[in-house]
Amino acid sequence: MEQIQGGITAAKGFLAAHTAAGIKYQDRADMAMIFSRQPCRVAGVFTSNVVKAAPVVWDKERVETGKEIHAVVINAGIANACTGKEGMNYCKKTAQKAAKTLSISEDSVLLASTGVIGKQLPIERITAGIDKLTEGLSCELSAGTQAAKAIMTTDTKHKEIAVTFEACGVTATIGGMCKGSGMIHPNMCTMLAFLTTDFNISKELLQKALKEDVKETFNMISVDGDTSTNDTLLLLSNGMAGNEELTKEDAQYDSFKLALHTVTEFLAKSMAADGEGATKLLEVRILGAEDKNQAAMLAKSIISSNLVKTAVYGNDANWGRILCAMGYAGVNFIPEQIDLWIESEGDGQLQLVKDGTATDYSEKLATKILSAEQVNVIVDLKIGYETATAWGCDLTHDYIKINADYRS
């Protein structure tokens, strides 16, 4: 496996486009399109929120009934959530327009929206945008990058990655892009993410691989504990790498899964690091757990705690808040047995807690470690052998500014 340049257009047969449709933002692209030369099998994971945006309802139906997909149309600025029948009608109109301009069937178009809830889409601008997107489709790597920029809302960086891997006798590619960065929380994280691969794999295995992978990547990040109405993760496979369809969970499947995981972990971490107002990435590793669930619940509780997140922002080794957040995670453990370290790339590890109480650590060194761009917290429960890792960010003045001053 090897990381290569590019994102959603790295895999064979995938094209992308972007345009400034003027939906909400001025002077920037706010619509993107993904198009595959060949029809795709598709796997999808969607928000668990009871309130589901219209495009989520649209996509879910198509992914579940196993329709072949040719294109995805994405807009930023308005979420098309809480928009009633009109919102669903706009989904239909958008898909119809894309189907017409691309000469594909309406049911082979998926949709995704992100932005403010409760507003109706300016459908005229959307359909005008689709004309421009269709004209602009390109298989260049830069077309993927521009699409990744067009779907941003409060993100400060675009997020994309691609890798190649060997399986079934061919060199296949998987690439992806995503956007965060508020309303980000496990189950499933508040985000839009689009993955494309030319690897030929059955619909069943595609969905299985994605569903399992999400548990350890996108569902292990949190920015603010708010699970959005629009979370959408799509994985499109057009089979153009040329291998025979993979239908068994063999070593070839493992190669695919590893490549997929590399892409999703990178995107998930990028989202956490670029959380609204964030100044640093917080990685929490739980070791020595009895089972996976215990480890995951504890890791997620720590990265979700406002008090932990503000302490990390303040470079304050307030480990008591970490133990406190573990204590209300909803799973049991033995507080008197916990060992805890903080770690950064430059300054190595520092043990703060041994057997549940403070070590005689240097506050100065602790502050130095916490000042790094990525801070790791490692907790050993000393009960069993399972582990879990979760990613979050600090909670800062800018988070308040972004969310109190603007309607996002």
Contacting positions for a second copy (CB under 8 A): 48-52, 79, 81-84, 86, 116-119, 182-183, 185, 187, 224-229, 304-307, 310-311, 313-314, 316, 318-321, 323-329, 332-333, 335-336, 353, 355-358, 395-397, 399-401, 403-405, 407
Say if CB 184 and CB 224 are below 8 A apart. yes
Closest CB 364 distance from a second copy, rounded Å: 14
Q: Which of 123, 47, 35 is nearest to 78 (CA)?
A: 123
Q: Which of 80, 147, 143 is nearest to 111 (CA)?
A: 80
Which uninterrupted H or E stretch holds 260? helix 251-273
Across 153-172, b (16+ Cβ under 10 Å) vs e yields bbbeebbbbbbbbebbebeb
Q: Which of 364, 28, 75, 308 is nearest to 192 (CA)?
A: 75
C-alpha dihedral (257, 379, 322, 318), degrees to nearest 10 = -120
Handedness of CA 320, 185, 226, 372 (dihedral sign): positive
Say if CB 215 and CB 300 are below 8 A apart. no
Q: Cα–Cα distance between 155 and 373 in angstroms, integer?
A: 17
Closest CB 162 distance from a second copy, rounded Å: 32
Question: Choosing from 190, 197, 229, 389, which is the catalytic residue?
Answer: 190
Q: Cα–Cα distance between 240 and 155 in angstroms, integer?
A: 32
* CB count in 10 Å sphere of residue 144: 32
Q: Cα–Cα distance between 122 and 214 in angstroms, integer?
A: 33
94 is catalytic: no
Question: Which residue numbers are catalytic?
Answer: 190
